[in-house]
Every structure is written in C-alpha cells, then in structure tokens.
Amino acid sequence: MPTDDLEQPLTTRFTGALNLACDLHRTQARKGTQIPYVAHLLAVASLALEHGADEDEAIAAILHDAVEDQGGAVTASVIRESFGARVADIVLSCSDTHLLPKPPWRARKEGYLEHLARATPSARLVSACDKLHNARAILADFRELGHGLWSRFNAGPEETLWYYRALVEELRKAPPGPQGKRLVEELDRVVGELESLVGRIST
C-alpha cells in the first residue's frame, strides 16, 4: 500500500526497487548509446514523483521495463511478491509484451494503445512519464544525428511519429492524476517539436 507518512514519502520499499532495477538492467544500455539503461528508469521515476506519484507508482516507474525486457512472467512474479499486486499490475500495464521473441512492432504498439485506453490512472501516469522521457531523448538525438537516428529502432520516422501522436491523443482523453494535464501537455509539445523538425529535414 502507498505510504501516508508525508515526512517520509519514500520508504525502504523504494530502495529495494532501485536495487532490483539495477540488478535486472545492469548490463543494458539505451539503444545505440553507452548510456546505462538505469538512467532512463531513474528519469521516469523522477517525472512520476514530480507529477504526484505515490510510492507504489514510483516503484512501478523504476520497474516499468523489468517484465518486458528482463524476464517476463518470472520477473512479474518477483515484483508481485516483493512489492505487491498494485505495483505488479502497473508494471504489467506498462509492458507491451512479455513474450520472447517479441511480436512485430506495429502489432505491439496497437495493442498497447488499446490497453492504455482501459488502464488505471496509475498505469497511465507511469506510461506518460515513460513516453515523455523517451520522446525527449528521441528529439535530442534527432537534432544531433538527423535521420541516422532511426537505424537504432525497429520503426522509422513515420511509424514513430504515428505512435507518439496516438499516445498523446489517448492520454489526453483522461490525463493521469491531478497533475496529469500538465504532463500530457509537455508530451504533446515535445512530440509536436519532433514532428516539425522531422518534417523540415525531410523536405
């Protein structure tokens, strides 16, 4: 259960989640870079806390890619046992697959959007923070690398922009939490800037 202690909003449960995330993702880097993957997880948790996350939501933010990238159902069981059903359910809601090999990119993303439409406010909060940090990274890297960036990913610019615009529209229908509107507005701004920049360089 989320803590109600305002003097200590994060407990040793959060420390345990940090340790687990570091163990699971220790050898993983961001695509096409030498940046440790845990940097992304910390950024998503930071965004979630800055936008009103409770401890369960912050833990789920730290672990949001653990099931998808590091162990599937086995990892989901570890999270459920260690941090409770609410955290595990948020993490599962933020995973577009736990299958290996992963299904085709477009099918996964369409399924994720359909699931997001039914997701809890907590899952939508963590998802919005994840997508905002990813969108910021894509925008910064595109400024530096141009269209060479897309070789890192399973999708090109058209599909990537389709997906992020669809995420904005879906999250806008029900902004996650009391500060969610501001979060979705920032995602919309970043995606719009990326759309404009890709369009200018493509013409």
Mean pLDDT throughout 81-92?
Answer: 97
Residue 7 in any domain: the answer is no
Q: Which two tokens stand for residue 4?
A: 């109600």
Q: How far is CA 179 from CA 33, 68, 125, 148, 193, in A?
A: 32, 27, 9, 35, 22
Q: Is the pLDDT of residue 5 over 60?
A: no
What is the structure's pLDDT at 1?
43
Question: Which residue type sits at 86?
Answer: R
The model's confidence at residue 111, banded by pLDDT at 50, 70 and 90, is very high
Asked if the bond preceding 101 is cis, omega within 30° of 0, the reply is yes
d(CA 45, CA 4): 19
What is the structure's pLDDT at 132?
98
Mean pLDDT throughout 84-104?
Answer: 88
What is the structure's pLDDT at 202?
64
Express as a percent the part of the chain with pLDDT over 70.
Answer: 95
Residue 196 in any domain: the answer is yes
For the chain, what is the domain count? Answer: 1
What is the structure's pLDDT at 6?
46
Q: Is the pLDDT of residue 127 over 70?
A: yes
Mean pLDDT throughout 145-160?
Answer: 92
Residue 4 in any domain: the answer is no
What is the structure's pLDDT at 103?
84
CATH number of the domain to which 119 belongs: 1.10.3210.10
What is the structure's pLDDT at 203?
53
Domain that holds residue 193: 12-202
Q: Is the pLDDT of residue 4 over 80?
A: no
Mean pLDDT of the chain, nearest integer: 91
pLDDT for 14-42, tens place per residue?
A: 999 999 999 999 999 988 888 999 999 99
- Choice between 100 and 54, residue whose per-residue pLDDT is larger: 54
Residue 109 in any domain: the answer is yes
d(CA 128, CA 164): 11
Residue 2 in any domain: the answer is no
Residue 169 in any domain: the answer is yes
- Choice between 138 and 178, residue whose per-residue pLDDT is larger: 138
Mean pLDDT throughout 75-80?
Answer: 96
